[in-house]
Chain A
Amino acid sequence: MANFTRGFTGGARRGGDTRLPPGQYDTGATWPVLTAELTPTIDLETWTMTVDGLVEKPTTWDWRGIHALPSSSYFGDIHCVTTWTKFDTTFAGVSVDALLEIAKPKPEATHVMATSTTGYNTNLPLDDITGGKAWIVWEFDGKPLAPEHGGPVRLLVPHLYFWKSAKWITRIELMDHDEQGFWERNGYHDRGDPWLEQRYQGDA
């Protein structure tokens, strides 16, 4: 075919913004909601967060326990595989590093599976959730994270497409191998780097 689409200039949207990864657009003030399952109702009295698998000390935190850890926040952009990017978001919670410091990953751990209360799961290399790159968050823009956006608590891995930031997170299991999660089994990429446009299985 021709190497461009007849009649398309892209002039309406393009701002030459270098913060937009390839194929993404700025969603502005909106925040689209995309899930595969219904939004669950989560009771904070019974909610827990567990880090287990290949760790020295499998640990479970309740709502108060996780709030007792040093707080940490993220300010920056988030990118969804459905092509929206949201600039300048603010999330607050704890760094995943703080949880792993307590649970102590074993040397053979290379990947994790993050699991939601709904059963949704997603796989990540351990390197992608350590070193200040991932958070467990419960606040967005200074307010409690809304249930449809994964509240009360979600994983936040903003340097990867947002399906990796599992909503309603309840468990991170450390593993010595990679294993596909929900969307990865259903055709999406195992890593999901927006700057490399790793959207679907088969992308480089």
Chain B
Amino acid sequence: MTEAIASSWTTGTVREVERFGETYVRLRIEVADRHDHVPGQHYVVRLRAPDGYTAQRSYSLASDPADPLIELMVECLPRGEVSGFLHDVVEAGDELELRGPIGRWFVWGGEVPSLCVAGGSGVVPFISMLRYARRMGTASHLTIVASAQTRERLPYIEELEEFGAFIALTRENHGDRVAAHIYPDELAELSKGIERAYVCGSAGFVSFVGRSLGEAGVPSDIVRVEQFGATG
């Protein structure tokens, strides 16, 4: 797999738009002159007003590198300048300025037995890893834990369930599991045999999971982190 450095902007044509309530919008985009990505990488989307004003944000890819389109699942943030536009305005056929793939740290090449822990939309890079692992037959190297308040707040929940991900909902029961945050003893069980851990979510979620992983005996130097969102 190549690890191309994305050095220039390109154009993407939106092929599919699917909105999930008020929270998420899924965009599937055809990218001109596309470079293969490694699961875990992200793209930058840049919006440009007629007078040249721009706004840009980074979004993790959910798609398998072999997918002919790239897939973004964008969480719509309150007053989000870019996410709000993608949620409210974008239609199939629109063109977007794109740059990527970017990032070579929070990536999984398929070989290292890994635990992935996601909070809410933090699950997106792990969907790319999951789809890649399935195609390559390395799914046994990937353990995914996904947490959210409710089913509606966890994108790709059906795909995660089908994969056998461990799902921890905090405000409603999920199967036999009573609503609760992830417990350290759950992480201890799931982290057996791993050589790397990836944690993606809000700063608060990452901090909480980091402590729990420590309690579960996972050394901090094998933990890779990606955070988003704001704190006060």
Q: Give me the interface of A with B, judged by CB distance under 8 Å.
A: 1-14, 22-23, 25, 27, 29-40, 82-83, 119, 148, 182-183, 185-187, 200-203
Given contacts A23-B56, A186-B104, A203-B7, contact A32 B203 (CB under 8 A): yes
B216 to chain A: closest CB distance in Å?
Answer: 13
C-alpha gap A147/B227 in the complex (Å): 15
Verify if B96 is at the interface (C-beta below 8 Å from A).
Answer: yes
A37 near B49: Cβ-Cβ < 8 Å: no
C-alpha gap A187/B79 in the complex (Å): 30
Q: How many residues of B contact A (CB 8 A)?
A: 52
B203 near A33: Cβ-Cβ < 8 Å: yes
B231 near A36: Cβ-Cβ < 8 Å: no
B231 near A10: Cβ-Cβ < 8 Å: no
A120 to chain B: closest CB distance in Å?
Answer: 10
C-alpha gap A200/B226 in the complex (Å): 18
- Which listed residue (B50, B85, B232) contacts A29, Cβ 8 A? B232
Verify if B221 is at the interface (C-beta below 8 Å from A).
Answer: yes
Residues of B within 8 A of A37 (CB): 220, 223-225
C-alpha gap A32/B77 in the complex (Å): 14
C-alpha gap A182/B226 in the complex (Å): 14
C-alpha gap A182/B214 in the complex (Å): 23
Give B182-215 interface residues, CB cut-off 8 Å to A.
199, 203, 206-207, 210, 213-214
Residues of B within 8 A of A27 (CB): 230
A182 nearest in chain B by CB position: B105
A86 to chain B: closest CB distance in Å?
Answer: 10
Closest 9 CB pairs of A and B: A202-B7, A30-B230, A33-B203, A38-B210, A10-B49, A1-B95, A10-B53, A186-B104, A7-B89
Residues of A within 8 A of B231 (CB): 30-33, 148
Residues of A within 8 A of B49 (CB): 4-5, 8-11
Verify if B8 is at the interface (C-beta below 8 Å from A).
Answer: yes
Give 20 CB contacts A-B under 8 Å: A4-B50, A4-B52, A5-B47, A5-B85, A5-B95, A5-B97, A6-B94, A6-B95, A7-B89, A10-B47, A13-B55, A29-B232, A30-B230, A32-B229, A38-B210, A38-B225, A39-B207, A187-B103, A200-B5, A202-B6
B55 near A23: Cβ-Cβ < 8 Å: yes
B13 nearest in chain A by CB position: A1
A202 near B220: Cβ-Cβ < 8 Å: no
Verify if B138 is at the interface (C-beta below 8 Å from A).
Answer: no
Residues of B within 8 A of A119 (CB): 221
- Which listed residue (B5, B53, B94, B207) contacts A187, Cβ 8 A? B5
C-alpha gap A202/B223 in the complex (Å): 29
Residues of A within 8 A of B52 (CB): 4
C-alpha gap A194/B12 in the complex (Å): 25
